[in-house]
Chain A
Amino acid sequence: MGNTAGLQKEIGAISTFADLAPIRKMIRSCIQCGTCTASCPNEFAMDFTPRRLWRMVLMDQTEDIFESKTFVLCSSCYFCTLRCPRGLPLTEAMSALKQIATRKKLPKFKESVNFYSCFIESVRRHGRVNEAEFMTRYFARLKNPLIPLRFAPLGVRLMMKGKISMLPPIKQARPLESIFRSVEALEERK
């Protein structure tokens, strides 16, 4: 797997052992049977199979893991978790990898990372998701004029049905601010 210098620098920001350690612990008893791969509906689009990914985690091959798109292709269907003969929390381990990519804002995963972060920011501001506002911000952050076009026809259909509104959301108290702050503090301590 060839690594670009840029990516290496990015991943350099991850203290490999510390960040992957909890994930390695989750999947420590993997026997490499391949049941997860055989169960995964997204395997056809992945560069590494889930079984291979878990091996890479066990071997601490951080650069390869974050060079690959396998974990962002997990759609949390929980089939692998259900079927793994060792009963490992595999979907949660996939999420833990997504959390690292989101926390480090890795540019390689910018579509997914921006999608998650814009959503969460909308929740933080309003307590509930304002779908139109969240999508607008997501597009703005991607800085790719072609992506909004992909959604335009659906957006128009939803607006005609009155399901999304383009009016700015009503300003209100941020009911989740204290929870967000406490979570940030707790995660820093961990």
Chain B
Amino acid sequence: MKYQYYPGCSLEGTALEYNVSTRALMESMGVELLEIKDWTCCGASAADSASYFLSLALPARNLAIAEKTEDVTDILVPCSACYLNLKKVEEKTKNNPELLGELNSILGPDQLELKGRMHVRHLLDVITTDLGPDTIHKYLKRELTGLKIAPYYGCQCLRPYPVFDDPELPRSMEPLITAVGAQIHPWNMGGKCCGASHVNTKPDVGLELVGGILQDAKGADAIITICPMCQMNLEAYQKKISRKQNINLSMTILYLPQLIGFALGLSQQQLRLDLNLSITDSFRKKLT
């Protein structure tokens, strides 16, 4: 199995452990990733707030480069914000030759042309749809019995394009969690919004949303995320919100491939658990 790979900017910086653990997990399941050559920023959540055409042209450039590798048409994207930006171009150009022409007039001077052949796939989509619990079982090295996991999906892998899960009540991570022997923490916050970049521009509002998610996770051993922005929001402000609300909200926050990777026998070092900002002592004890 082979995919083209778009890591995106966060995965080279603040979300390095998501990059490392995704690559390690895929390798251990026999999946090959081909990083898109000279990829550039997809525009994150900022381009969309600055210019409509820029928000499509930035991801389009990466898709056009990926198209040059003809035999692999699926692009695997771990970051939900990058995923949606790239997916938008795939979806919007599908039946819109005018838009495709406009984007190509922007890419033309760089000798790039978008034909619309690429399929943009979220990491969770690939793990759920192409690999599934059976593949995980096949490679399982240690059962994570006794761990209760709250799956957090966030927004942009679910909406507005419902590709692999229910956009209101997502459940695709549940079979993966049970496949590694862990239990599911029942909650209602899986598909709710963490406020995205509000923590930077509207901190009071952002922290309120994050606080609600952390509260509902009480009783779980960890929240599992599939997006660097969700991960950072949930792990970086726990002390601040706890102080504000006068309640202890400390909670382990892991990326999905870190959890599955650990069950598949990868070491904490291979999954870079040292880079996470919030892993509680009691959780660490459970891992050993």
| Residues of chain A having any CB pair with chain B under 8 Å | 41-42, 44-45, 72-73, 75-79, 81-82, 91, 95-96, 98-99, 102-103, 111-112, 115-117, 119-120, 123, 127-129, 131, 150-151, 154, 157-158, 161, 163-164, 175-176, 178-180, 182-183, 186-187
B266 touches A (CB below 8 Å): no
Contact of A164 among B14, B44, B237 (CB under 8 A): B14
Comparing B116-124, B178-186, B199-207, B255-263, the segment that makes contact with chain A is B199-207
Contact in complex: B197, A75 (CB < 8 Å): yes
Question: Given that A75-B196, A82-B168, A115-B200 are known contacts, is A127 also in contact with B53, CB under 8 Å in the complex?
Answer: no
Nearest CB on A from B232, distance (A):
9
Contact of A76 among B12, B13, B48, B236 (CB under 8 A): B48
User: How many angstroms between the C-alpha atoms of A45 and B14 in the bound complex?
Assistant: 29
| Residues of chain B having any CB pair with chain A under 8 Å | 9-10, 12-14, 16, 38, 40-41, 43-55, 57-58, 61, 102, 105-110, 155-156, 158-160, 162, 167-168, 192-193, 195-198, 200-205, 208-209, 236-237, 274-275, 277
Contact in complex: A116, B155 (CB < 8 Å): no
Do most interface residues of chain A lie in helix, strand or loop, or is the interface mixed?
A: helix
B203: which A residues are within 8 A, CB to CB? 150
User: How many angstroms between the C-alpha atoms of A99 and B61 in the bound complex?
Assistant: 21
Contact of B53 among A41, A76, A175, A187 (CB under 8 A): A187
User: How many angstroms between the C-alpha atoms of A111 and B197 in the bound complex?
Assistant: 11
Most buried by B among A127, A163, A176, A179: A179
Question: Given that A76-B48, A187-B51 are known contacts, is A163 also in contact with B200, CB under 8 Å in the complex?
Answer: no
